[in-house]
Structure 1
Amino acid sequence: MSRLTEKMFRKEDPLVYQDKDSHLIRSLTTKDFLALGVGTIVSASIFTLPGVVAAQHAGPAVALSCLTAAIVAGLVAFAYAEMAAAMPFAGSAYSWINVIFGEFWGWIAGWALLAEYFIAVAFVASGLSANFQGLISTAGLKLPRSLAAASTGNNGGLMDIVAIVAIILVTLLLSRGASQTTRVENTLVVLKVIAILIFIFVGVTAIKMSNYSPFIPKYHLNPDGSPFGGWQGIYAGVSEIFLAYIGFDSIAANSAEAKNPQKTMPRGILGSLVIAVILFVSVALVLVGMFHYSDYANNAEPVGYALRRSGHAIVATVVQSIAVVGMFTALIGMMLAGSRLVYSFGRDGLLPKWLGKLEHNLPNRALIVLTIIGILLGAFFPFTFLAQLISAGTLIAFMFVSIGIYALRPREGKDIPMPSFRMPLYPVLPGLGFLGALAIFMGLDIQAKTYALGWFIFGMLIYFAYGIRHSTSTIDKAAKHQDD
């Protein structure tokens, strides 16, 4: 047993990761990371979640749900910024936790993030498909039913061909390298932000102050038993809104390809979150000001609905068209980060080593695996019941990173370089970040927690059946003993 625990809790030497990732090309700048972060965080959710949460839980106080979720995300982002500056390795939380807590805990954190990326790739691709099909339907165009939806749904579908094509297009783009990808990403992000600003400026002209009263509706239970109004409704909204902010992890996962990561990583992580929060709160306030929050109940496109109903049908079409194109930015961000995480597992032998091999200094083998799984989930299986698993897995990784600051600080300036950015108000803020992530995790429904438990049990089986025996640290240590 002692030998088993020794293997589980051994800590990777940061110099080993530095050497393993040295073949990745450092080409990404602060501008690239800002675009990557904004593109991933500000996805389709900004056009849907504010209206949905306002109608279901918070009313006009949906803006407070956005702000509260942003505060928790900001606390965790501070921890991410320090970790990424100190240890700019591929794999983000997986690699960091492996260094400061040990391989077993690194696997737990990485496995949690893997759920986020696998499901998020499928989720975004299917969302892009749904919005694209909705947009072309206004022109009288419609895909055959067999190609319009997943095969395991109840609508006669065989596969979601748009989701498949979207994932393949992004894979082809990513296979050409991060620097070329970011050129496309930067352009699409600018377009998406312009679409959001158009909605805000046009929507402001249709605001009626009476729609903000009462700003925090009186608390009561919805017919399904969920809370509405009061602080309970705001809290319920936080758990849903927080899903939109988790994308900043996708920046950290690419830190091994950052120019001057000591500066670019903190600026990219914190800067993109600030921009995203401003846009989210602005959209939420404008949306509930244009019409009564109850009008957005069961509405899959509240932004388009509000624009059309206020007499701006052409603007609605333009905004929704740009939004569909802009959804590629979230798909690019998730697939870029997910492929780097799969590469990291292969790099360390916890998954088959061929996943950790580079082709033309790019982790394209890991990218292909992510693509196949994303297509299987997004094109052939309904996965909406797993949507909250994205939040559940990521929140667990967030708790690890927040509490990990306490283990990182004593090693900074010793075996780990002293980072140029350090989390302020230490030791208070890391603890608050951990508690905030824990509070949001507890706010998820029991189904999400149950699926998360099942995912981790599956992960443990893989780790103990394969990973712990094939880990490069185990093999390297055994070889060292033989040499001695």
Structure 2
Amino acid sequence: MASIKERIFRKEDPSVYETKDSHLEKTLTTKDFLALGVGTIVSTAIFTLPGDVAALHAGPAVVLSFLAAAVVAGLVAFAYSEMASAMPFAGSAYSWINVIFGEVFGWVAGWALLAEYFIAVAFVGSGLSANFRGLIAPLGLRLPKVLANPLGTDGGGIDLIAAIVIILVALLLSLGVSKASKVENILVVAKVLAILLFIVVGLTAIHPHNYVPFIPKYRLNPDGSAFGGWQGIYAGVSMIFLAYIGFDSIAANSAEAKNPQKTMPRGILGSLIIAVALFIAVSLVLVGMFKYTAYANNAEPVGWALRHSGFGIVAAIVQAIAVVGMFTALIGMMMAGSRLVYSFGRDGLLPKWLGQLDQKKRPNHAVVLITIVAVLVGAIFPFGVLSQLISAGTLIAFMFVTLGIYGLRKREGKDLPDPSFKMPLYPVMPLLGFLGSLVVFLGLSKEAKIYAAGWFVVGLIIYFTYGMKHSYLSQKNSQGEA
């Protein structure tokens, strides 16, 4: 009988995933993946983060924070593109690392991403709810606090609007990815047009003196974090990186791609390029309209800047479209999260019913689970605590993927296909991607690292008490040895 060490470090045969995922409908094109990526990356954050980071850490140099975060995200995106081209499996990093390094490493990477999806879905749902309530407030429509806020927050019991929106998106996904992608495509176009409207109108209200000094003098904030100087820019990078991690949602759906060799790199890299351009443009315009200090503790800097520049109607239009556009992030995250949960069930690491498809080949059991968890997380937990887990968990998965390129190259053209897209400047670029992710991770708060450690302890307990015993890979090898 194999030892525990041999069992947990065994690697999955990629042909097994090809067979298991062959039942998923392959309907998604490059256009769908671009919409999915832009819709997920360019979500609530673009309307809030530029103002927050400028006021808290970087001043006008918030643009440099976005640019530095984009460089790291870009390095990782190249690795994701090659991985997704060579292994278009559901579950993205979880499945890839399972094949390259072994089951226990795959579980850790997948568990890291699961934190992102569970919390991010609830986080975006809460942001949509807050913006929607802000829109209807001038009409005299207000929900009682018990139905407007999470449990224990300002007299709250449950964020009812967030829960309803998450359930509506789940119902849309249950109809299949082709229908969800059509809705996604339309909403992404509307959201991008709203952002472009802000940029064009905002350019007419820029005051050049607001950019001076571009990099404010370094000092410490009351909470001990850095403001100004290169230290403030670095602090901004760790805060901003959360905005760029959405390209994982594209890779998670690669098993449903048409011609993944071409569609996956185009979707992943193309959506990131579009998102970076939009984030940098919004940041430049926003800090040019008003001095960065005006955005301190401002929950809606884009709308506020437009209204205080005399563009009230434009502000209402942009915010209304932004609320609708937040559906795109929910669609992308719930699609990706449900495919990850499906992958865990497919491999027996979580109950096998999660890996079952319905009569129309849709992983709706996994959709139900991520919906229930997201609603509960959004109803019960304060986001100031949990949102830090999103970046920490995802950065750990990114480190696995960038290092995984070295193992992938040894097997391309052998038991894995030789993909048409490969990460350039090998072997230097994968190392740069790993080091960049590590540097951003080290810049996270102490609390974020503690929460991440706790999340991984829980994950390892689940693996060793349930996953390892029920894993199809372990069972298959045990039967082979018998």
Determine the structure 2 residue equivalent to 1:472: 472
Contact conserved, 2:100 with 2:404, CA < 8 A, in 1? yes
Contact conserved, 1:151 with 1:381, CA < 8 A, in 2? yes
Determine the structure 1 residue equivalent to 2:130: 130
Contact conserved, 1:40 with 1:334, CA < 8 A, in 2? yes
Determine the structure 2 residue equivalent to 1:199: 198
Q: Deviations over 1:19-46 (max 9, x none)?
A: 0000000000000000000000000100
Letter in 2 for 1:264: T
- 1:273: Cα distance to partner? 0.1
Letter in 1 for 2:124: V
Q: What is the alpha-carbon distance in structure 1 between the residues aligned to residue 155 and residue 428 of structure 2?
A: 54
Contact conserved, 1:27 with 1:257, CA < 8 A, in 2? yes
**Unmatched tracts of structure 2, length 5 or more:** none
1:229 aligns with 2:228: yes
Equivalent position SS for 1:48: helix
Q: What is the alpha-carbon distance in structure 2 between the residues aligned to residue 381 and residue 473 of structure 1?
A: 35
Determine the structure 2 residue equivalent to 1:58: 58
- 1:55: Cα distance to partner? 0.6
1:74 aligns with 2:74: yes
Letter in 1 for 2:297: N
- 1:222: Cα distance to partner? 1.4
- 1:309: Cα distance to partner? 0.6
Q: Equivalences for 1:1-400 in 2 at 5 Å? A: 3-153=3-153, 155-359=154-358, 360-400=360-400
Contact conserved, 1:251 with 1:337, CA < 8 A, in 2? yes
Q: What is the alpha-carbon distance in structure 2 between the residues aligned to residue 31 and residue 379 of structure 1?
A: 34
Q: Which moved more, 1:354-363 or 1:470-479?
A: 470-479
Q: What is the alpha-carbon distance in structure 2 between the residues aligned to residue 288 and residue 115 of structure 1?
A: 32
1:436 aligns with 2:421: no
- 1:157: Cα distance to partner? 2.0
Q: What is the alpha-carbon distance in structure 1 between the residues aligned to residue 223 and residue 351 of structure 2?
A: 45
- 1:105: Cα distance to partner? 0.3
Contact conserved, 1:160 with 1:380, CA < 8 A, in 2? no
Query: What is the TM-score with the length of structure 1 in the denominator?
Result: 0.98
Q: Deviations over 1:127-166 (max 9, x none)?
A: 111111111112221112221112232x222211101110
Letter in 1 for 2:38: V
**Unmatched tracts of structure 1, length 5 or more:** none
Q: What is the alpha-carbon distance in structure 1 between the residues aligned to residue 315 and residue 138 of structure 2?
A: 12
Equivalent position SS for 1:469: helix
Contact conserved, 1:92 with 1:249, CA < 8 A, in 2? yes
Q: What is the alpha-carbon distance in structure 2 between the residues aligned to residue 223 and residue 457 of structure 1?
A: 32
Letter in 1 for 2:429: L
Letter in 2 for 1:234: I
Q: What is the alpha-carbon distance in structure 2 between the residues aligned to residue 436 and residue 398 of structure 1?
A: 10
Determine the structure 1 residue equivalent to 2:427: 427
Aligned residues: 481
- 1:2: Cα distance to partner? 6.8
- 1:48: Cα distance to partner? 0.5
Q: What is the alpha-carbon distance in structure 1 between the residues aligned to residue 235 and residue 89 of structure 2?
A: 35
Q: Which moved more, 1:140-149 or 1:8-17?
A: 140-149
Q: Which moved more, 1:216-225 or 1:8-17?
A: 216-225
Contact conserved, 1:218 with 1:229, CA < 8 A, in 2? yes
Letter in 2 for 1:257: E
Q: What is the alpha-carbon distance in structure 2 between the residues aligned to residue 394 and residue 381 of structure 1?
A: 20
Letter in 2 for 1:47: F
Q: Deviations over 1:293-350 (max 9, x none)?
A: 1111111111011000100011001100000000010011110000000000000000
- 1:376: Cα distance to partner? 0.4
- 1:123: Cα distance to partner? 0.6
Letter in 1 for 2:92: S
Q: What is the alpha-carbon distance in structure 2 between the residues aligned to residue 106 and residue 269 of structure 1?
A: 21
Letter in 1 for 2:235: A
Q: 4+ residue runs of structure 1 moved beyond 4 angstroms? A: none
1:459 aligns with 2:459: yes
Contact conserved, 1:126 with 1:379, CA < 8 A, in 2? no
Q: Deviations over 1:381-440 (max 9, x none)?
A: 323211111000000000000011011001001000001100000000000000000000
Q: What is the alpha-carbon distance in structure 1 between the residues aligned to residue 39 and residue 221 of structure 2?
A: 34
Q: What is the alpha-carbon distance in structure 1 between the residues aligned to residue 379 and residue 162 of structure 2?
A: 6
Q: What is the alpha-carbon distance in structure 2 between the residues aligned to residue 93 and residue 60 of structure 1?
A: 35
Contact conserved, 1:54 with 1:288, CA < 8 A, in 2? yes
Q: What is the alpha-carbon distance in structure 1 between the residues aligned to residue 147 and residue 227 of structure 2?
A: 38
Q: Deviations over 1:149-194 (max 9, x none)?
A: 12232x2222111011101100000000000000000000001001
Q: What is the alpha-carbon distance in structure 2 between the residues aligned to residue 230 and residue 292 of structure 1?
A: 17
Equivalent position SS for 1:440: helix
Q: What is the alpha-carbon distance in structure 2 between the residues aligned to residue 296 and residue 462 of structure 1?
A: 43
Letter in 1 for 2:105: W
Letter in 1 for 2:62: V
Contact conserved, 2:2 with 2:478, CA < 8 A, in 1? no
% same residue: 72
Q: What is the alpha-carbon distance in structure 1 between the residues aligned to residue 224 and residue 479 of structure 2?
A: 59
Task: Please tell me the root mean square deviation across aligned C-alpha atoms, in Å.
Answer: 1.0
Letter in 2 for 1:378: G
